[in-house]
Amino acid sequence: MDVVGQVVTIGAVVIGALTTHLTNHMLERQRVRHVLLTRWDERKLETYAVYIDAVRTCIYSAVALYEARTGLAQSPHPDGRLAEHLTDAEGARSRAFERVMLLAHEDVIEAAHAVNTATKAVDWRARGTTDGPLASGAS
């Protein structure tokens, strides 16, 4: 009886150790998955923030160029320098949009395309490429 009791005890310890190992392994995998998802969420949020900031910079630069070009406001910079600022801002917006396309879902990408279309319309009006109100589209 003493040997049977020891075998049962050893078996119970082995089963307990295996169960503990498997449970810890599964919990660790779940934790790692959660960390990876959180990192991607943080990366997406950062990407969206950079994109929105780039869009705001484009619009601000376009308004400054438009106001200077049409005489609505005085600018300390010549029109050529304002156009350079707008070109640089457009480049940054384009690069930020590419990052959005890599990380975002389809509905976010579609919204970003609409924002890009609106931003380009503002840009074209500011440069004098097109005339008329913005509501008429980018024609």
Over the stretch 77-108, which tens digit does the pLDDT of each residue have? 777 798 899 999 999 999 999 999 998 889 99
The secondary element (H helix, E strand) that includes residue 18 is helix 2-70
Q: CA distances (Å), 78 to each of 29, 40, 70, 126, in order?
A: 59, 42, 13, 14
Range of the domain at 102: 42-136
Tell me, yes or no, whether 1 lies in a domain. Answer: no
Confidence at 138, pLDDT banded by 50, 70, 90: very low
Tell me, yes or no, whether 101 lies in a domain. Answer: yes
Specify the DSSP class assigned to residue 136: G
Q: How many residues does the chain have?
A: 139
| Single pTM value for the model | 0.68
Confidence at 1, pLDDT banded by 50, 70, 90: low
Burial of 16 (0-12, 13-18, 19+ CB in 10 A): exposed
> What total number of domains does the chain contain?
1
Tell me, yes or no, whether 18 lies in a domain. Answer: no
Tell me, yes or no, whether 17 lies in a domain. Answer: no
